[in-house]
């Protein structure tokens, strides 16, 4: 994820500036503010701005004048209660803004989370860089035979080499065609004055989904946790999960008490249906329960047994 000298200079300038404020700030998050965290081969995620902290969640829950309580243990207990009982609005009072560079196909997954403010790099206005994602060999897997949206065994040897070659060659070829249709150099001047370039908004349609785009993505803490609960899950696609993993670490810096509750009740917890709870009660009573008599679907039975650490 190489940054241009201009980009690095801008980051250093922003990090050198400090402003006096009466707003809540979080030193651990200030340490990494503006700094890009590399993701995939050319991507990154970085925090641009934020509002609020753990104490702001407590303040909103109590609608108080103060910033939480004098004892962290009381704030922790309240935040855990809010998380456990799904009281969402206090978490919505905190917001965070990210700058993300990501492959277009990852962006199309990401944008399904419609609870954020998004502004994306415009290929109608600017020319996209020649940067495209190629999976590492340990992520080059075949289609799963049991999960229509998952991966199976890794491709090996000549087959893996062939696929990697196709990915690179296709991306190189379409970008060359993109550049030819634009007929523009880095300054916007025609490469060939005798030719008229195609409009940028049309030339971009030839690019494949592994090319990189960028956006600013601003959301509140509650909806950030909804995003992370789905995209940092081990079942999520690898290419979006690595972004979620990086953002999880940023959230830990920002709101450590909320993050602790999030891991405890969301990431480490489980949602069990009414029929599933009936199965659990019978098992606790010492009964033997089979899937056939449980009243739940095969998939739910498998998930329930996995949650309970039992063989399906």
**Positive or negative: CA dihedral 272, 276, 278, 281:** negative
| Cα torsion through 61, 66, 70, 73, rounded to 10 | 10
Q: How confident is the model at residue 135 (pLDDT cuts 50, 70, 90)?
A: very high
**Considering the domain 5-133+210-267 in this protein, what is its CATH number?**
3.30.1360.170
How many other CB atoms sit within 10 Å of the CB of residue 103? 24
Q: How far is CA 41 from the centre of its chain?
A: 16
Q: How confident is the model at residue 93 (pLDDT cuts 50, 70, 90)?
A: very high
- Pick the residue with more confidence: 278 or 67? 278
- Strand ranges inside 12-61, DSSP E: 37-39, 43-51
Q: What percent of the chain has pLDDT over 90?
A: 62
Average pLDDT over residues 94-110: 97
How many other CB atoms sit within 10 Å of the CB of residue 50? 24
H or E segment to which residue 75 belongs: helix 72-84
Q: Give pLDDT tens digits for 35-83.
A: 999 999 999 999 999 999 999 999 999 886 666 555 777 899 999 999 9
- Pick the residue with more confidence: 88 or 149? 88
Q: Give pLDDT tens digits for 234-249.
A: 889 999 999 999 999 9
**For the chain, domain boundaries:** 5-133+210-267, 137-207, 274-308
- Distance in angstroms between the alpha carbons of the first and the last residue of the chain: 44
Q: How confident is the model at residue 1 (pLDDT cuts 50, 70, 90)?
A: low
Q: Decide: 128 and 206 in contact? Cβ < 8 Å.
A: no
Q: Decide: 48 and 62 in contact? Cβ < 8 Å.
A: no
Rounded to an integer, what distance in angstroms lies between the CA atom of residue 100 and that of residue 218? 11
Q: Residue 270 above 90 pLDDT?
A: no
Q: Decide: 66 and 103 in contact? Cβ < 8 Å.
A: no
Q: Decide: 266 and 59 in contact? Cβ < 8 Å.
A: no
Q: What is the pLDDT of residue 149?
A: 67
Rounded to an integer, what distance in angstroms lies between the CA atom of residue 192 and that of residue 37? 39
Q: Residue 148 above 80 pLDDT?
A: no
Q: What is the pLDDT of residue 301?
A: 92
Q: Decide: 7 and 61 in contact? Cβ < 8 Å.
A: no
Q: How confident is the model at residue 8 (pLDDT cuts 50, 70, 90)?
A: confident
Rounded to an integer, what distance in angstroms lies between the CA atom of residue 154 and that of residue 62? 52
Catalytic choice (200, 204, 231, 241): 231
Rounded to an integer, what distance in angstroms lies between the CA atom of residue 76 and that of residue 93? 17
Average pLDDT over residues 12-37: 92
Q: Decide: 176 and 130 in contact? Cβ < 8 Å.
A: no
Q: How confident is the model at residue 2 (pLDDT cuts 50, 70, 90)?
A: low
**Catalytic status, residue 231:** yes
pTM for the structure as a whole = 0.90
- The DSSP output letter for 264 is I
Q: How confident is the model at residue 153 (pLDDT cuts 50, 70, 90)?
A: confident
- The DSSP output letter for 14 is H
């Amino acid at each position: 994820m190489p940054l241009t000298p201009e980009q690095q200079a801008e980051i250093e300038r922003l990090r050198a500036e400090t402003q006096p404020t009466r707003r809540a700030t979080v030193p651990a998050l200030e340490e990494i503010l503006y700094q890009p965290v590399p993701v995939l081969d050319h991507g990154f995620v970085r925090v641009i701005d934020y509002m609020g902290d753990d104490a702001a969640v407590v303040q909103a829950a109590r609608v108080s004048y103060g910033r939480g309580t004098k004892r962290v243990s009381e704030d922790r207990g309240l935040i855990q209660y809010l998380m456990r009982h799904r009281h969402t609005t206090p978490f919505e009072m905190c917001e965070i803004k990210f700058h993300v560079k990501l492959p277009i196909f990852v962006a199309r997954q990401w944008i399904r989370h419609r609870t954020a403010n998004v502004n994306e790099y415009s290929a109608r206005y600017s020319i996209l860089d020649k940067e495209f994602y190629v999976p590492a060999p340990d992520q080059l897997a075949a289609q799963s035979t049991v999960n229509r949206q998952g991966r199976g065994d890794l491709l090996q040897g000549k087959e893996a080499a062939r696929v990697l070659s196709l990915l690179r060659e296709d991306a190189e070829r379409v970008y060359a065609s993109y550049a030819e249709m634009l007929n523009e150099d880095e300054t916007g001047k025609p490469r060939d004055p005798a030719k008229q370039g195609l409009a940028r908004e049309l030339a971009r349609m030839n690019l494949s989904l592994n090319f990189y785009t960028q956006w600013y993505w601003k959301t509140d803490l509650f909806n950030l946790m909804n995003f992370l609960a789905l995209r940092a899950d081990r079942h999520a696609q690898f290419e979006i999960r690595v972004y979620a993993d990086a953002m999880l670490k940023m959230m830990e810096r920002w709101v450590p008490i909320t993050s602790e509750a999030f891991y405890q009740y969301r990431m480490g917890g489980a949602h069990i249906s009414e029929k599933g709870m009936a199965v659990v009660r019978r098992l606790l009573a010492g009964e033997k329960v089979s899937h056939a008599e449980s009243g739940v679907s095969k998939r739910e039975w498998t998930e329930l047994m996995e949650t309970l650490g039992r063989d399906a």
